[in-house]
Amino acid sequence: MKTTLRIALLLLSFFSTVQFSKAQVPVLSSYPSASAVIFLDFDGHTVAGTSWNYSGPIYCGASTLSSAGITEVFNRIAEDYRPFQINVTTDSTKFLAAPVNKRMRVILTTSWEWYGSAGGVAFVGSFTWGDDTPCFVFTSLHANNVKNISEAASHEAGHTLGLYHQAAYDANCVKTSDYNTGVGTGEISWAPIMGVGYSRNMTLSTSGPNPYACTNIQIDLSVITSTNNINYRADEYSAVFATATNIPFVSNQFMVDGIITQSTDQDLIKFTQPATGRFQLDAIPYNVGTGNAGSNLDMQITLFNGSQTQLNVYNPGTLLSSVIDTTLNAGIYYLRIEGKGNIYAPNYASLGSYSLSGRFTGGGALPLRVLKLQGEVYGDKHKLTWLIDADEQITSQILEVSTDGRNFSPVINTDVTARSYQYKPYISTTAMYRLNVTFDNGKQYYSNIVSLRNTSTNDIPKLITNVIGNENIRVTSPGSFEYIIADMSGKPVRKGQLTAGINTINGGGLSGGMYIIRYANAGEQWTDKFIRH
């Protein structure tokens, strides 16, 4: 049975009275060779002879978005469906050439009165019906906000691909909302595409409960691929060292573009540094603006040497992008690129496209053998210690701090003999530190980056032990906190509520391995890890 879902994703108390001229729709396609098509129709359309036409034809006006607005909407939706062999397009000829049971017209229109006040509407599963029944997004009810229009369009297209809503339930399995609104602020804030993601930057496919029961788990990626005869894109890069793609330096630089298409996808890149010197890498997920707006991929980069020994892992906790700034000897190295979760987003479906920009700066003979920074939190203070093993004399060492992993400022210019520093930081969120060292031959080097959270351990829950040997997990808590325990794939296995004092959580049935416990209170989250023997 074809059931209409009335989706009131965004109801506004005002309407724009500004008149817009009809913009030229740019011709855009995300994957021209794909047989499955999502057609974004911005310039108006008359709908007739479909399941919507119970009262005659529906005349849909143009979206009134500018060409730049249309392009951004396209780019955001294209990234949401990047892992699949689906062509998101504004080209009607691509839509008309696609098989009738593998295409969907998404009408982005100002004409909402025929249906009623809603962000959009779709028939669940209509992508494969073969009768060109479209879905709708009512742009004027979104006040032409391109972010919200994009979220609504990806959501409605998801319904046509067979997806229901991702709902929210409390620890007792009581539904709190038909729409999961996500969690967090800033660049790494997260919500499901099939929930409500207007206020979150990172909106993803999700594995979670639908509105019909907390035990009805909808695995979005599986539904899309299994019910619509749609496959994932082919993997571009090997995950095996022996067959890693070799990327040469050209004028001491290299560029790489790729796509993480599945949660298990790992892309391995091989490069050869021609001489000892500084290696820098910018790893950027696809985005439509500052702060990695519209990105679907939280990037983690792991650096290996030619013997395939891991040297370091780069994944700034509050950023979706990642950076490397280090000194390497001449030789072969490998970069492993993968999508990861964060304190807000689960590990599931951190997928999308990315670019790497590598740079080598020659430095002659290496003046040091070891430059390593370590950090610890003591109450409300941060303690940093470091090790320097070098033949040259140190002329300057500056401890630097950053909140975004890109822009660093000095904490202190220490005495050249100092090997530690402790202070109470002014940063109220995660602080990222590095050591900037200059030697008497004029060479300058940066240490590894250390991240410390400026939160007193007395103010948040703590595991009494990180090694769990029996069935009970014990947590001391200063007050009321929600908790979720997830395995390393991001799948929740326990959830509940902590109260002030010592809490005992039943760990029976958990298999051996490492787990993450996430605490939440008043919009903030903290995570910890434990091992179950």
pLDDT at 4: 42
Which residue positions in the chain have pLDDT lower than 70? 1-23, 363-368, 427-429, 453-459, 470, 489, 522-525
Q: How many other CB atoms are found less than 10 A from the CB of residue 240? A: 9
Report the Cα 47 to chain-centroid distance in Å. Answer: 36
User: H/E/C letters for each residue in 12-50?
Assistant: CCCCCCCCCCCCCCCCCECCCCCCEEEEEECCCEEECCC
pLDDT at 525: 66
pTM above 0.85, yes or no: no
d(CA 139, CA 459): 44
What's the token pair of residue 397? 């060492």
Nearest 5°: CA angle at 200, between 195 and 201?
120
Are the C-beta atoms of 45 and 57 separated by less than 8 Å?
A: no
pLDDT at 480: 84
d(CA 141, CA 47): 20
Nearest 5°: CA angle at 292, between 157 and 374?
130
Cβ burial of 369 (10 Å; 0-12, 13-18, 19+) is exposed
Complete domains list, the chain, with CATH: 4-227 (3.40.390), 241-362 (2.60.120.380), 368-453 (2.60.40.10), 462-532 (2.60.40.3080)
Are the C-beta atoms of 325 and 446 separated by less than 8 Å?
A: yes
pLDDT over 90 for what percent of the chain?
A: 62
The helix (run of H) or strand (run of E) holding residue 474 is: strand 472-477
